[in-house]
């Protein structure tokens, strides 16, 4: 626990057998209470590696649900386990688990409800090997989102995220996409409900075993992000209404 609050790490996995051990080894178990591994019907030995590591909560999807669908299972399980703080960590070793204490501290001490590990604060993204086209794409989308959502967020597209229980219980993430745009929809919901977002500079690693979507899927994701941003603004203006922005509690 951290400050008397239960901390659960969720690992949304897809073919992560080659990197799961490295990721798991760096998790600070002096403050982490539980680890949840959700395998999205991988074709490798992700589940077997997880069992060898002694991960007590392993869920395997019978069919591939997508990145967003994986996260839905992760968060539902973490809440079921009584988590006060939930941190999503990719098991592909692209993000360092060494930031977990800092991210959790901000939530445990009621400073923020949401903390992101931002790769574009500083030079971590390009130095870590992020392809130039992805970096440019990232910055352009983030600029557009900040204009539409009236925010000053450094990066909306990081997969390293920490949430309080309150946030996960309030936002209606179950209605979101099961693809990659789920991440963006979630932040849109959080901002819509008035929560502030903290960010921590996060180094990243791009290497052969790390997961990364290709150019065509990046374009699909980008178009989805633009749509989410426009819908967010229209709902704020009262022009549209969407169930995704209705709080669950």
pLDDT score, position 249: 72
pLDDT score, position 182: 97
pLDDT score, position 179: 95
- SS3 for 67? helix
pLDDT score, position 135: 86
pLDDT tens across 201-225, in order?
A: 998 877 666 556 777 888 899 999 9
pLDDT score, position 195: 98
CATH T-level topology, domain 7-245: Spore Coat Polysaccharide Biosynthesis Protein SpsA; Chain A (3.90.550)
pTM for the structure as a whole: 0.94
Give the chain's largest Cα–Cα span. Answer: 53
Segments in the chain below pLDDT 70: 124, 207-212
CA distance linking residue 6 with residue 24, whole number of Å: 18
In sequence order, the β-bridge partners of residue 2 are: 5
- The CB-side HSE value for 220 (13 A sphere, CA atoms) comes to 10
H or E stretch covering 58: strand 57-60
């Amino acid at each position: 626990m951290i400050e008397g609050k239960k901390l659960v790490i969720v690992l949304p996995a897809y073919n992560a057998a080659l990197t799961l051990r490295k990721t798991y080894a760096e998790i600070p178990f002096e403050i982490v209470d539980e680890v949840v591994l959700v395998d999205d019907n991988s074709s490798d030995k992700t589940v077997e590696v997880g069992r060898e590591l002694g991960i007590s909560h392993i869920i395997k999807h019978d069919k591939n649900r997508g990145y967003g669908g994986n996260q839905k299972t992760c968060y539902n399980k973490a809440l079921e386990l009584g988590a006060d703080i939930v941190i999503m960590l990719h098991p592909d070793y692209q993000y360092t688990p060494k930031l977990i204490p800092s991210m959790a501290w901000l939530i445990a001490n009621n400073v923020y409800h949401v903390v992101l590990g931002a790769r574009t604060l500083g030079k971590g993204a390009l130095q870590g090997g992020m392809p130039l086209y992805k970096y440019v794409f990232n910055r352009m989308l983030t600029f557009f989102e900040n204009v539409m959502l009236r925010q000053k967020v450094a990066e909306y597209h990081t997969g390293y995220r920490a949430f309080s229980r309150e946030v996960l219980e309030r936002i209606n993430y179950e209605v979101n996409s099961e693809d990659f745009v789920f991440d963006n929809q979630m932040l849109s919901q959080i901002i819509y409900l008035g929560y502030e977002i903290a960010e921590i500079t996060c180094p990243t690693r791009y290497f052969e075993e790390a997961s990364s979507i290709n150019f065509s899927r990046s374009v699909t994701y980008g178009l989805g992000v633009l749509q989410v941003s426009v819908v967010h603004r229209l709902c704020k203006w009262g022009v549209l209404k969407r169930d995704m922005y209705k709080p669950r509690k």
